[in-house]
Amino acid sequence: MRARLWLKKKVTRLANNPKGFSSIIGSVFMVLVVLLLSTGVFMWTLSQNTMYNEAVRARNQEEADRQNENVVAVSGNYSVSGDQVTVKVVLKNAGSIAVQIINLWVLDTDPSNRRYANKSLSLNLNPGNVTNLVESSPLTVTIPGASSSHIFASWFATTRGNTIPLEKEQSIIVAQLAQGIGSLALDFQTFRYFTYETSTKLANYSQGIKSFNVPGSGTPIAFGANLTNLDPSKQTLTFNVYSNMWLVFPGAPGQTPQWYIVNVATDGTIAPSYSPISLAYGETKLVVFASSRPVKEVGSFSTNSISPAITPNPCAVNLLLLGILGTRDYGQNIPFVSLYVYKP
């Protein structure tokens, strides 16, 4: 009873004292402000922590994706024409994620001309994809002062910041053997012959007929071979007008027909005169043999220049290649093909 009376008196006293009541309200308001500010700070801290964790997860994912990129550049080779450096390569995505390649960089490592250039790209490779830039769509950059005798290095860059070094085609090392067998290599599988549409135009240029059985007995034909310059000194080789293809018939010793080198337009027309054909280091080119005598001696290619028909028999093929390698004379015999001449 006494406690109730005391509390009643206390409340009555506070009600009659405005200053005391306002102090209570102020304290409550202050507590509310502190709680509100604390809640705001807590929520801001929580959002910042969430953003940080998201950024860390995204960065870790990017790093994982970058490490999982696995693109290889193989069968690489270079050819030079003037200041144009052409890169031929096969790209293979051996990884588990898609890769976008955005740049190709090429460096001329020669001390006298140490320059580099780049080419913007947009190549997308899904896992398992292979992009062949050897036979079609080779990549070309311009490097002033570049030469076929120089050594080049190149690499690709991806959107994730990885670099893909170009691995030089190992078969080019065969050039080291050229000191014993010669600087020129013949692509055996692409050896071909051509028939004639007219007396000065090949009917099926440039595909020809890839075969080691050829028609004889009155069917005029010409021959083509893919030759590659693998010279160890990396010099350009130029064929002269006396380069020819010679057939040897063991069963008919008196039959030794020859087909001399000629220039052929893209439509298969044989040029009336001969302009020296050059082959840069690492370059592969189709060389055609069609004239019965050197075009220089014939005067100009014509009907009389077509090599005579050959009698059916097996024979050996010899490419007798003459010209200039760099600044010195050059000659090489390539004897690796044999033919069977059949009667149509």
- In this structure, are residues 312 and 343 in contact, taking their beta carbons and an 8 Å threshold? yes
Q: Which of 259, 272, 257, 264 is nearest to 207 (CA)?
A: 264
Q: What whole-number distance in Å separates Cα of residue 156 and Cα of residue 162?
A: 8
Q: What whole-number distance in Å separates Cα of residue 274 and Cα of residue 261?
A: 8
pLDDT in tens, 312-328: 889 999 999 999 998 89
Q: What whole-number distance in Å separates Cα of residue 37 and Cα of residue 198?
A: 96
| Mean pLDDT, contiguous 10-residue spans, the chain (344 residues) | 58 56 66 75 80 81 84 82 86 90 91 89 90 79 86 90 75 44 83 91 91 86 90 86 91 81 94 91 89 78 67 89 93 90 84
Q: What whole-number distance in Å separates Cα of residue 248 and Cα of residue 317?
A: 7
Can you give the pLDDT at residue 262?
94
Can you give the pLDDT at residue 343?
84
DSSP per-residue letters across 151-216: -EEEEEEETTS-EEEEEE-GGGGGGGGHHHH-SEEE-GGG-EEE-EEETTEETTTTT-B--SEEE-
Q: What whole-number distance in Å separates Cα of residue 204 and Cα of residue 332?
A: 28
- pTM of the model as a whole: 0.53
Backbone angles phi, psi at 135, to 5 degrees: -85, -25
- In this structure, are residues 152 and 115 in contact, taking their beta carbons and an 8 Å threshold? no
Tokens of 75: 């069968």
Domains and CATH numbers, the chain: 71-168 (2.60.40.10), 174-342 (2.60.40.1470)
Tokens of 254: 């008196």
Q: Where does 82-138 show beta strands of DSSP type E? A: 84-93, 99-108, 115-125, 130-133
- In this structure, are residues 61 and 84 in contact, taking their beta carbons and an 8 Å threshold? no
pLDDT in tens, 49-71: 888 888 888 888 788 888 889 99
- In this structure, are residues 118 and 105 in contact, taking their beta carbons and an 8 Å threshold? yes
Can you give the pLDDT at residue 20?
55
Q: What whole-number distance in Å separates Cα of residue 87 and Cα of residue 107?
A: 11
Can you give the pLDDT at residue 156?
93
